[in-house]
Each structure stands twice: as C-alpha cells, then as structure tokens.
Amino acid sequence: MALFTYSKLSHLLRLAVHKAPVLRAGADMKPGAVSWLQLKRSQVRFLLTQERQKQQMARGLPKQKPIAGVKQVIVVASGKGGVGKSTTAVNLALALMANDQSKSAGLLDVDVYGPSVPRLMNLKGNPELSDDNRMVPLTNYGVPCMSMGFLVEDASPIVWRGLMVMSAVERLLRQVDWGSLDYLVVDMPPGTGDVQLSVTQNIPIAGAVIVSTPQDIALLDAHRGAEMFKKVNVPVLGLVQNMSVFQCPNCQHQTHIFGSDGARQLADTLGISFLGDIPLHLNIREMSDKGQPVVVSCPDSAEVSTLLYSALLNLVRIPVPFSNLDFLAQKQDLKLLKVNKAIMS
C-alpha cells in the first residue's frame, strides 16, 4: 500500500465506493463483512489524504538557492530575546576574520522588528544601490553589514503583518550585493516563527549557533530552537552560554546570577557541542553600546581572551569543508563535525 501512487489510491477509493452498494445489497451480507469493508474504505481515505498533503507540501516549499558570492552561512539564534544573541553574532563575525585574516565575513541582521546591528557596529545611513540595483552593505571594522535598521528611522516602530515581513526578509536575502564572502553570519530574531522558517527554507545553511543564558526559562526556549533547526535539517554547531557569571570588580567574588552550567547540560542532553561561556561583564556591555565590539576594541582583555574569544574560536575551529549544498546532501552528519573538530584540535 505504501507504494501506491496518488492516482492508484484514487482508483481504489472509487472502486470501494462503487462496489459498496452491490455488496450491501446481497442477501448473505454479514455484519463482519460490512465492518471490514468500512475499515478498508477508511484506510484508503486516510492514505489518500496523506498523499495529497505530501504533494501539497512539496509544491509549497521553496527551493533553496545560495546567496550570490557567499560560501558559507552561519545563523546565530536564540529561543528567548534579551540573551545577547546579537552581541554574540557581531563578535562571531569579527572573530572569524581575526582568526584567519585571509577569510572575509559579513553580517546580516534579519531581526526585522528589533534590529541591533546598526548600533553594535556603529553604522548609520542608507545603503547605496549597485549597477544591478542591489543594495550595497555598509561596512565597519572590515565587515559588510545589512540590516532593516538601515532602511528605517532609529525610533520608527515596524508595525507590519507577516506578508510584509516576509517580503522584507526576501529582499535582505536576495537583493544585497555582498561581493565575495567566505562567511555570512546571520543574526536571527528570537523565537521559532515565520522569519526563521523563511531563512532556513530559502538558503542553504552550514550550521546554527544557539545562544542562551543558564537560566531555566531561557533554556526551555533554546531547546525549542534546537529542535526547530533539527526539523528543517540545519545542523546545530553548538551552544554558547552567555551571561554565565558576574565577577565583582572590587572583591573579585564570582556570582552566577542566572544559574550555572545550564547551557552546558542542555548541550549534553541534545548531543551537540558546548562552545563556551561569555561572562556578564561591564566592559562587554559598554563597548557594545558604543558600537565597539570587544573582539576588536579589547582583544587582550581578560573577559575576551579567556572566555569570549576562546568560546568563539571553538566554533571557528569546527571546519565546514563542503559547499552549502554538499553539506546539506550529507544530511547534517553532526558526528562528522565532531570528528573534524577533534582532528583540528
């Protein structure tokens, strides 16, 4: 039955419907035979409905198309807002370039309702248009950036319905002239909604980084985010634990304000890599607000060298040796990623 095509199922259902009155009209028709016939008709209808749904889904899903000029796409996501996802994405893009100066990295902010990249990267203004009518990213610290924040006023709320948001995301994905990039880091909005599905279904993605605090309420949403990427066949490269510890600048006492090791335990549960800890540090917050990410403004500071930078380098050391499409063809073999990481270390 599983090998039946849609047309065969339709034919079988029609036969069952047409023959039913003849069987029921027979003088020797037994209740058991009637029940058997009804059961078979129900099974056929169920299989027919499943086949129709599969065909509709196959027609409805967009075909993935790589972004022109971009070799690898890494998305940075979080289930919960306010966990430091955008700060991590910005520093990740800069760390990718700092780790290997022969590599180029770009930054795409698809958080339409709350874009943070313009402030974090100290960028203002509207993008210019190239000769082929595509937007030219704004650049700072050697990283080309594109964000919805460049297209609207700073204080202007974006009060859009889903279709308008999808149109904006499509424009950010397809109408930007990135030139040639080794990595494009995508700052995703929080949650597991339309934007996440649109991005993951439209472009091939090498992997996702999930950011969370150690707090239980944040970890619940981080878990949901990881499961979402699993369903859309995007490998999760690892989990970053942000705001992991606060160290008093006077007495040096450490306090785990949001709990300890929650993200590490979640990574173990999910069977994914734990990339490291990022502290709750005043310098990270101040430099971020000034548009001077700590990876470039304070690369030798303790909070960067011992925690933030090392955590991001753990991700950098996970090689992505295939093209995006080849990577998807490998069905996201996370074991291969772990083996490659062990070899590189």
pLDDT tens, position by position, 156-212: 788 888 788 888 899 999 999 999 999 999 999 988 888 888 898 899 999 999 999
Q: What is the reported pLDDT for 35?
A: 66
Output the pLDDT for position 49.
Answer: 75
121-143 burial, b at 16+ Cβ within 10 Å, e below that, comes to bebeeebeeeeeebbebbebbeb
Q: What is the pLDDT of residue 155?
A: 76
Distance CA 93, CA 234 (A): 19
Burial of 269 (0-12, 13-18, 19+ CB in 10 A): exposed
Give the predicted TM-score (pTM) of the model.
Answer: 0.72
Which residues of the chain register pLDDT less than 50? 1-2, 17, 20-27, 306-307, 309-310, 318-345
- State residue 324's pLDDT score: 34
| Closest C-alpha to 110, from 38, 174, 181 | 174
Return the pLDDT at 256.
87
